[in-house]
Structures are given as C-alpha cells and as structure tokens.
Structure 1
Amino acid sequence: MTTVVKVGGARAVDPEGTIADIAALTGEGEDCVVVHGGSTAVDETLERLGEEPEYVETPKGVVGRFTDERTMETFEMVLPGKLNTDLTASLRKTGVDAVGLSGVDGGLLTGPRKSAIKVVEDGKTKIRRGEHSGRITSVNADLLTGLLDDGYTPVVTVPMLADDGTPVNADADRAAAAVAGALNATLVVLTDVPGVLADPDDPETLIGSAETPDALAQVESAAEGFMGKKVMAATEALDGGAAAVVVADANADEPVRAALDGGGTHFTPGAIEAEAEVDT
C-alpha cells in the first residue's frame, strides 16, 4: 500500500521529524509520495517584494488564497523552485531516492482553470475575477507508479497545468487528495494541530474518526478556517479512491507512523459510501 504524505508548511511545523519518518518508511520498503505546499513561504516572499497576501472566504465558509498574476509568479518561483528543491535535497540526505516534480512536469496534475471565483465580502457574495487557479481533475498516475516501481520517492508540488496549457495555482491539500485517490493510497495530512478539534482552542477535544455520515458532518461543522480545506480534501480523496485519510500532528514523534497507527483524525471510505447510499 502506498502512503501519500502531505507536508505542512505552517511556521509552527518542524519538517525534520517527517523527513526522518519518510526515510524510515522507505527504508523498510514502503512506497511513499510526498506532496507539499508552501503558503507561508509564498506570503513571506510577497511581503519582501512589498505585496500583501490576500485570503478570501467562499460562500461555503472555506478560506483560501486569491491568486492574482503577481502571486502566481511568486508561486512559480518559490514552490517548484526553492521549496521543492530544498525538500528533495533534505530527503536525499537521509538516504531517500527522492525526485522533485511539479504538477506541470509530465502533465502530472491537470484540469480546468478558474478565472473567477465566488467570495464573501461584508456578508455579500461577489464574483472576483483575475484568479490564477484551477481544479485538478486528472493525475498522471503512470508517472508516479513508474517512479515508485523504480525505487524513487516522488516529491510533488503545485502549480498544476490548466487545460489551456498555463501553469496555475492549486491547493496543496487537494492536490495531495487527488494523488492519493489516483493511487488508491492512504493519505496522511500533517498540520500544526493534533487533528480536527471539536473546540479549535482545546487540543484535548480531538475528534478521533469519521466513519459514518453523522460523524463526517460533525467533523465538517467543527472544521474552521484552513482546517475546512483539509476536511474537504479528505472527502475528495476518499471519493477519488483513497484507502483512508488521516489529518494529524506534524510535530508528533514519528509523525507519519503515529498517524498511521491511530493518531489524529481518521476518515474512512464508509462515511462517503454510506452517504452515497442515503442519497440514492
């Protein structure tokens, strides 16, 4: 079974434990695909360039970045450039035969472009144009499985390749979900909190699992801000064919193995399948 590990980029996340854990898993013969974003690094770069990062809220309450042309240029510079190179190099230092890829390489992540999005401003739904992002609808799984079969560990990041041939931004959590679904893999989403919390201010209120539609609804209602995007990614991964999803603490000891062994919030296909049966 392949494990897709989404590496978080928040300031409070220390990647060293995750890198060591991936090295241990691959050293034991496990197949891993690493997916990373880098919103924090992009924001810091934009600020150094005198630009203000912009985040918006959708009508569904999900918070995401608004990617204008300048931000897109920064993404292309930071993610497939510095961050992917640094993470690939760090993995290789630990003995992992890592290969860095963006979603553009080999048409790895493709789909339609979004030039406008719906946002909520001052309580009103508006259309914002000039967006440089897309929705991943296809993953070149053959490219990934070919690398895995040859003993490599793919290290994947956005941008994706839009259907008009243009590189555009895509959410890294949802990119990881698309990859996990295409590979029928287990997805581990590592972040700076223990998992989905019933009370976002209390780490003791961890919701351990979502195995039924009711439990999934509880998790969805508890997820606020950026966690909402991670829960959305979890459901998309399962709907796409992932074996399971875990949202867990990147700063735990042996974070990937801790997540696989029961840590964090676990999502199982039963919630999605049961939900589909109810709808029919």
Structure 2
Amino acid sequence: MTVVVKIGGARAVDPEGALSDVAALVAEGEDVVLTHGGSTAVDETLEELGEEPTYVETPGGVVGRFTDEDTMDVFKMVMPGKLNTDLVESLQNLDVNAVGLSGTDGKLLEGKRKSAVRVKEDGKKKIKRGDHSGKIESVNADLLETVLAGGYTPVVSVPMLGKEKEGGYTAVNADADRAAAAIAGALEADLVVLTDVSGIYEDPDDESTKIDSAATPAEFEGVKDAAEGFMTKKVMAAEEALEGGASSVIVASANADAPITSALEGEGTTLEPGVLDAENAATEVDQ
C-alpha cells in the first residue's frame, strides 16, 4: 500500500505527530509520499519583505492566491527551500531517509502555465494578468516509484513546471492540495489530507457535526454542500484524486495522536471512489 500524505501549511497545524507517524509507517514497510503546503509561511515572508499577499476570488466563488513575479520568487524560496528542507531534516532525525523534491525536478508535476486568471472584483468579472500559476496535467509517477523502490521517502513541494505558450518552461505556483491529489491519483494511493480540523463538518462551526464518510454520489453532494472556505478546495482536490485513481481520500486532523494511522483507521472524513459512480454511469450512457 502506498499512502500520500499532505500536511497543511496553516499556523495551527503542528507537523510533529505526522512526521513521527510517517517514521512508524516506513519502519513497518509502508511506502509514504509526503507533500506539504505553506501559504502561511509565504505570506509571512512577503510581509517581512514589505510586500502584501494578494488573494483573488474566481467567478465561481473560490478564493486563491494571485502569484505575481515577486511573489513567485518568494514562493520558490520558501516552499521547496526552507519548508521542504525542514521536513526532510526532521525525518532524517527520525531515521527516515527522506528526499526533498519540487514539482520541477524530473518534470514531477507538469502542466500549462496560466498567465491570466478570471476574477470577480466589486461584483464584476475581470481578467487579471501577470499570474504565475498552473494546473497540474501530468505526474512523473515513475520518478516517485523509483525513489520509493530505492528505500527513500519523497517529500514533495510545489512549484510545478509550467509550459509556456511560446515554448519552454517556467516554475509556477500550484495548489498544494491539488498537487497531492494528482500524486495520489497517479500512484493509485490512499490520500490523507491533514489539516487543523478533524474532518468535514455539516456545520463548519460545530465539530460534533463531522461527516464520517461518503461512499455514494448523494452522500458526496452533502459533503460538497457542507464545505466552506478553505475546505472547498480540499473537497475539489479529493474529487480530482478519486477521478485520477486514488483508493480513498481522508480529511483529518494533523494534531491527533498518530494522525495518519488514525485517519486510515476511520478517523476524519473518508471519501471513497463510489462517490463518482453516478457521474461515470451517466458518461457511459452519453457515449
């Protein structure tokens, strides 16, 4: 079994328990690919440099980062630099032979660059240019499988490798949840998304309303209706992971005891491939 683990970058997420759990799983012979976010660290570094982070809202209501050239330079410095190196260092101290990789290494994460994005400002739809972002279209699974077969544990960070319209490549930002989803799909792995809440709640303000699982399209509709704010992107990523071939997706707390193991044993919110059956059946009928 291969497990892809995504550690969130929110300030409230403590990675220590997850890293210890990675070490325990690796010692038991499991293959683990660790991925991570880091938006908070990027924002803090921008502010230290006197720059203001820029977030935009899409016409569909999803809020995301706008990555201009200066922000991209900071992003490259923080994500595959300090954050990735810190995680590799911590794993080495836990006797895990970790290898840090960015999405640009070996064309690990590749897709087209988006230099312009559609946004909604003051109720109006606009085109904002100068963005350095992209959507992952391919994963070099062979590279990850080679690293795993050699007894190493990959620690993967965006940026991804973005194809320019005029040819060539540029390192560009990509959503870390969706990067983890693409990797889990390519490896047909279980995806564990660790964040600062214990799962997806029917009422975002009430932990007692946690949704334990979704295994049917109707149940998944309930999950999508419940997701708000940052959780919206995680649910989108979960759907992409399952569509790509992931065995399951679990959204769970990074701050629980043995968070990865407990998530795989049923803690958090588990989403199974069956949530896509109706859509697949409809597609087959249409064809």
Letter in 2 for 1:174: R
Q: Which residue of 1 aligns with 2:250?
A: 246
Structure 1 window deviating more from structure 2 (125-134 vs 34-43): it is 125-134
| Secondary structure of 2:270's aligned partner | strand
Structure 2, gaps ≥5 residues long: none
Q: What is the Cα-based RMSD across aligned positions, in Å?
A: 0.9
1:106-255 matches, cutoff 5 A: 106-164=106-164, 165-255=169-259
- 1:190-212 per-residue CA deviation (whole Å, 9 max, x = no partner) reads 00011111111111111111211
- 1:22-49 per-residue CA deviation (whole Å, 9 max, x = no partner) reads 0000010000000012101000000001
1:48 and 2:48 are equivalent in the alignment: yes
Letter in 2 for 1:130: G
CA distance in 1, matches of 2:21, 2:278: 34
Native 8 Å contact 1:63 1:228 kept in 2: no
Q: Which residue of 1 aligns with 2:261?
A: 257
| Secondary structure of 1:81's aligned partner | helix
- 1:87-122 per-residue CA deviation (whole Å, 9 max, x = no partner) reads 001011001110000000111000011111111222
CA distance in 2, matches of 1:212, 1:62: 25
Native 8 Å contact 1:191 1:250 kept in 2: yes
| Secondary structure of 1:67's aligned partner | coil
Identity of aligned residues (%): 67
| Deviation, structure 1 residue 129 | 1.1
- 1:6-26 per-residue CA deviation (whole Å, 9 max, x = no partner) reads 011111111100000000000
| Secondary structure of 2:197's aligned partner | coil
Letter in 1 for 2:173: N
CA distance in 2, matches of 1:62, 1:267: 21
Letter in 1 for 2:74: T
Structure 1, gaps ≥5 residues long: none
Q: Which residue of 1 aligns with 2:34?
A: 34
| Deviation, structure 1 residue 3 | 0.1
| Deviation, structure 1 residue 61 | 2.0
| Deviation, structure 1 residue 128 | 1.2
| Secondary structure of 1:198's aligned partner | coil
Native 8 Å contact 1:64 1:226 kept in 2: no
Native 8 Å contact 1:80 1:102 kept in 2: yes
- 1:167-203 per-residue CA deviation (whole Å, 9 max, x = no partner) reads 0000000000000000000000000011111111111
Native 8 Å contact 1:61 1:225 kept in 2: no
| Secondary structure of 2:131's aligned partner | strand
Structure 2 length as normaliser, TM-score?
Answer: 0.96
CA distance in 2, matches of 1:206, 1:122: 34
| Secondary structure of 1:112's aligned partner | strand
| Secondary structure of 2:117's aligned partner | strand
CA distance in 2, matches of 1:77, 1:267: 34
Q: How many residues align?
A: 280
Native 8 Å contact 1:133 1:169 kept in 2: yes
Q: Which residue of 1 aligns with 2:90?
A: 90
Letter in 1 for 2:271: F
Native 8 Å contact 1:198 1:206 kept in 2: yes
Letter in 2 for 1:273: D
Letter in 2 for 1:142: D
Q: Which residue of 1 aligns with 2:101?
A: 101
Letter in 2 for 1:226: F
